[in-house]
Structure 1
Amino acid sequence: MTKRTLFALLAALALGGALLATPERTGTATAAPDSRAMTGTTEGTTYVFRVPIDGPDRAQDLLRRGFDVLEQRQGDDLFVLGDAATQRKLHSAGFQAEVDSVLPEPQWEPPRKRDSNETRGASDIDETYYGGYPTVNAHYAHLDKVAADHPDLATVVTYGQSWRKANGDRRGYDLKAICITKRTGEDCQQRTDAPKPRFFLMSQVHAREITTGVMSWRWIDHLVGNYAGNAEVKSLLDTTEIWVVPIGNPDGVDIVQQNGNSPLLQRKNANTSNGNCTGTQIGIDLNRNNGSHWGESGSSSYPCAETYRGPHADSEVENRALQSLWTKLYPDRRDGGPSVPAPADTKGLMLSMHSYSDMVLFPWAYANVRTGNDSSLRSMARDMANMMGYRYGQPPEILYAASGGHDDWTYDKLGVASFTFEIGPASGSCGGFLPRYGCQDGFWNKVRPALMYAAKKAKSPYGGGSDPGDPPDCSATAWQSSQLYHPRSVVSHDGSEWRSTWYAWPGDEPGVASVWERTGPC
């Protein structure tokens, strides 16, 4: 039992010992063994370490040191991926690091190695790894088939090259997108005065986040497969261009898929020109490399760090290609400092999918300051989070500050409403970076309505989210930051009702601290 939990228990006993004597309270107070009590580690095993953080400055110190900090936060705790040596380094740097979970080694046979990824055949659409996850070539064969089967709806676009291909390595890939709409002569052209608003979705910028590529695949199939029989899909494609980049980091995904029973959890691209790095240490974190507040927070200058931001802003060909595509699709509608809004009539929406932690995030990510369009962005994020049962907020509010991200760049440079989904839970059989493929049905059922909502918002995103109307009758008292709450306490906070699953320490905010579970709107 941690000191914090012990103190909470003693305080609770002093405040209400008679209440704790009831059978219900006695049963609740008997906690299961806490995985955080585990301290022993074994060489060669991959762990997730729970690292208590005392304030945002300490979080930035952790990130600057180059640890593989996950997109996960519970209360004041962050989480670091690593091995026994990582735990020793954390301790040496003055951080507590207790084992939160052990990552099992997934078993899969890698796809066949190729001398070149220049060409592919129709049969490549069936190439998978780890029980069903499509390879890069499967994704690209899928795009080709969709365009061939639905020429009135879909167009494939090559918008650049990966680092390997741009540097003469035949293992590299083209960078591909697909545009889906009910086509007329002016649709799917790379021009900023397009007649239809545009919704842009991308996935697997961080290669190891393999769930996100499946979500893009299913989104594409949902649109083209339901145009004829689903009025909502038909209306969307008649009025909106949908752009999808299913694999934003194909070289990195190739590293993940090719390592079979000893997978490398590659996050970055495959750029080997910086530092003497090996394994998953090679590359640049594409989601820290964009030239929006580059290098200000949440990244490392150490080339072998998982959050290495690159030698300079926009150094990576994958990002420059994406930015070039965005500037051809969206006019620049925002100019000025962080609080300057994009005009109310700005069109378009960009959404980047990552995993994991069940979150909806929006700018600014680089610092805990609000955009000039915060009300609309926050309202839409709330709507989508409620659809999926996720938390929502700016990264510094519910995760940590990180600059150089794609959603900050598209909002900063173009004024485009931008969001990130962190898909999937942190634990359980469907948790983490490598959930079994059977988990994808559950993820898709949550994500699909939120994607439809976001795509429809592209025509007028700064009109805000849907009007929630009057909240339902709610008798729960408002959460008080100075109060200690007993297990099963019910409070209202931020438009929702919450129930505590254990003792909630003063400052444990509903929607942030894991001790609270959301029970509905309020």
Structure 2
Amino acid sequence: MRRADEGQVVVEGCARGGRSAGGGAGRRHRDRRAGRRRPVFWRVPATAVQVAGLGRAGFDVGESDAGAAYVVGDESVAVRLRALGYRPSYFDTVYKDLPAGSSRAAAADTFYGGYRTVAAQEAHLAQVAAAHPDLATVYDLGPSWKKTKGQGGHDLRAICLSKKQAGDCALSTTSPKPKFVLMAQIHPREISTGELAWRWIDYLADGYASDATAKSILDTTEVWVIPIANPDGVDVVASGGNSPKLQRKNADNSRGGCTGTNIGIDVNRNSTFQWGGDSNSPCAETYQGASAGSEPETQALEKFFRAIYPVQRGTGNDDPAPATARGTMITLHSYGNDIVIPWGFTQATSPNDAQYRKLGAKFTASNGYVVGTNRETVGYDTSGTTDDFTYGALGVAGFTFEVGASSGTCGGFLPRYSCVDSTFWPKNKGAFVTAAQAAAAPYRQ
């Protein structure tokens, strides 16, 4: 892990749900005639137990309702479901058409109406550090899978924002200020999340001189932002241009002979904490990898978290983080309008469940999202996730935000770019502020 020169970053060179669809079948037939295999939603009648089983089996389960789950995938996924005895029915395409009025010739560093590429995000961090040397420091956290293989790739990058005094924005577990980390796009296709990270950075850095809340946060807190936690995957998504590719995993193609967006390991199932409860099928969307922490992206993230947060709870699942524990973390995902709290790997609640729900209620006051465990929100358990790691291994109050609704213009994996400013940022800005303000004592709200 190394710090980039302040003001300068070297750029290395050379789930959920669906919506009702009038005419859906007709669109499907048109897509077939065009030779496309676009992922769609399949409505799968299923009990709650069966929904959980689908998730464990590696299906990309989005939202579930009283009698069904919605599974993302092309027609080969429907074939697999039928082979298991399910009766999937076509629901709707997960793609949204390019927003009306958007330029078909997007800028070179954007795609799908304005969403930023990895290169744009990297340049943005460098620009912020150069413009605000008293507030911003950029770090390289470690390489992506492709970079470790000499196939291009990127370093994962983080920016620390604080009014810098002695000891601030260092990779230290004993630095004086409490820390809040916001992380985005560990699942690359969840494209609105990287844009929220971008706006949060600008709000703090540009607002320090004129916004009392931004000034107060940076005077008292270290705010760390990882705008793209899976850069190789984001490259795959952006390569689709106006029809972004739905890459969920990283770019590790070393197992299973998978093709297209089925390659890779789900970095949000690869954590070293409670790893091993998700899919062992390399081509599954929730493939957990061959071993805990096998992926360089996971290694970089966990090394970073351990570098800035001390261990603040015992090793037992029932050991609570003490009231004196510091630190908050939000990992941004889409979609579902949920605030997910530990545990994910078990149906049991965490020993800090009551404190989690109190802080979650403060977030909800801003964004209106539903607070609950994985089972209470998405309807199934997960293992090897980032929020379980930061809480379980370190005692940090880690949350997952599922940004956006399951339907409508601002719903799904690929909402219109305009939704970031019209909906997602206004809803979540206050929640991010609350998380930063709570970093000093998240369990004493």
**Normalised TM-score (structure 1):** 0.76
CA gap of 1:287–1:89, structure 2 versus 1, over 3 A, is same
2:158 is equivalent to residue 207 of structure 1: no
Equivalent residue, structure 1, for 2:70:
79
Is 1:401 aligned to residue 381 of structure 2?
Answer: yes
1:248 aligns with 2:241: no
| Greater CA drift, 393-402 or 47-56 | 47-56
Relative distance call for 1:413 and 1:438 in structure 2 (3 A) is same
Contact 2:182 2:332 in 1 (8 A): yes
SS at match of 2:287: coil
The answer to whether the aligner puts 1:272 opposite 2:272 as a matched pair is no
How many residues get paired? 414
Provide the C-alpha distance between the structure 2 equivalents of 1:133 and 1:35, rounded to a whole number of angstroms. Answer: 26
Is residue 2:162 matched to residue 1:181?
yes
Return closer, same or farther for 1:201/1:76 CA change in 2, 3 Å cut-off. farther
Of residues 410, 419, 434 in structure 1, which corresponds to 2:414?
Answer: 434
Corresponding position of 2:302: 323
Letter of the 1:46 partner, please give it. P
Shift of 1:64: 3.4
* 1:101-116 correspondence runs (5 A): 101-104=92-95, 106-107=97-98
Q: Name the structure 2 match of 1:413.
A: 393
For 1:140 and 1:233, the matched residues in 2 are separated by: 23
AA aligned to 1:207 is P
Flag the 1:262–1:215 CA change in 2: closer, same or farther, 3 A. closer
Checking the alignment, whether the CA contact within 8 Å between 1:110 and 1:257 is kept in structure 2 is: no
Which amino acid counterpart does residue 215 of structure 1 have in structure 2? L
Q: 1:159 deviation in Å?
A: 1.0
CA 1:251–1:109 in 2, change beyond 3 Å: closer, same or farther? farther
- Looking at structure 2, the residues matched to 302 and 110 of structure 1 have their Cα atoms a distance apart, in angstroms, of 38
Cα deviation, 1:239-294, whole Å, max 9, x if unaligned, reads 00000000000000000101225532000000011110100111000000111211
Please list the CA deviations of residues 288-311 of structure 1 after superposition, one character each: whole Å capped at 9, or x if unmatched.
Answer: 011121122xx2100011100000
Evaluate the alpha carbon distance shift between residue 326 and residue 103 of structure 1 in structure 2; reply closer, same or farther with a 3 A threshold.
Answer: closer
CA contact (8 A) 2:95 2:414 kept: no
Shift of residue 93 of structure 1? 1.2
- CA, structure 1 residues 415+435, in 2 after alignment: closer, same or farther (shift >3 Å)? same
Matches within 5 A, 1:53-202: 53-56=46-49, 58-70=50-62, 72-104=63-95, 106-107=97-98, 127-170=109-152, 172-202=153-183
1:339 corresponds to which of 299, 318, 336: 318
CA offset at residue 199 of structure 1?
Answer: 0.1
Aligned twin of 2:43:
50
- Which fold has the larger relative contact order, with Cα–Cα distance below 8 Å and residues 6 or more apart in sequence? 2
Gaps of 5+ in 2: 1-18
Partner of 1:324, secondary structure, is helix
C-alpha distance in 2 between matches for 1:103 and 1:404: 26
Q: Secondary structure at the match of 1:189?
A: coil
TM-score by length of 2: 0.89
SS of residue in 2 equivalent to 1:213: helix
Q: Deviations over 1:143-200 (max 9, x none)?
A: 0000000001000011101000011112x00110000000012111111001000000
The structure whose Rg is larger is 1
Give how far 1:336 is off: 2.7
Query: 1:462 is paired with a residue of what secondary structure?
Result: coil
What is the match of residue 29 of structure 1? none
2-structure distance, mates of 1:263, 1:67: 20
CA distance in 1, matches of 2:141, 2:20: 49
Encode CA deviations 1:421-465: one digit per residue, 9 max, x unaligned. Answer: 00001111111111111111111000100000011000100103x
Find the residue that maps to 1:447 and give its secondary structure. Answer: helix
Match of 1:380 in 2: 359
What does residue 505 of structure 1 align with? none
Change (3 A) 1:139 1:228: same
Alignment of 1:295-306 (within 5 A): 295-296=276-277, 299-306=278-285
The alignment yields a C-alpha RMSD, in angstroms, of 2.1
Q: In structure 1, how many angstroms separate the alpha carbons of the residues matched to 2:223 and 2:118? A: 21
1:387 to 1:261, Cα distance in 2 relative to 1, 3 A: closer
Alignment identity in percent?
46
Query: What letter corresponds to residue 447 of structure 1 in structure 2?
Result: N
What is the correspondence of 1:20-59 to structure 2 with a 5 Å cutoff? 42=29, 43=32, 44-56=37-49, 58-59=50-51
Structure 1 residues 232 and 260: alpha-carbon distance in aligned structure 2, compared to 1, 3 A threshold: closer
Check whether the contact 1:207–1:268 (CA below 8 A) recurs between aligned residues.
yes
**Letter of the aligned partner of 1:87 in structure 2?**
A
> Quick check: 2:20–2:92 contact (8 Å CA) kept in 1?
no
Residues 105 and 261 in structure 1, CA contact (< 8 A), matched pair in contact too: no
How far the C-alpha of 1:76 sits from its partner, in A, is 4.3
Q: Cα–Cα, structure 1 residues 37 and 95, in superposed 2: closer, same or farther, change >3 Å?
A: farther
> Match for residue 402 of structure 2?
422
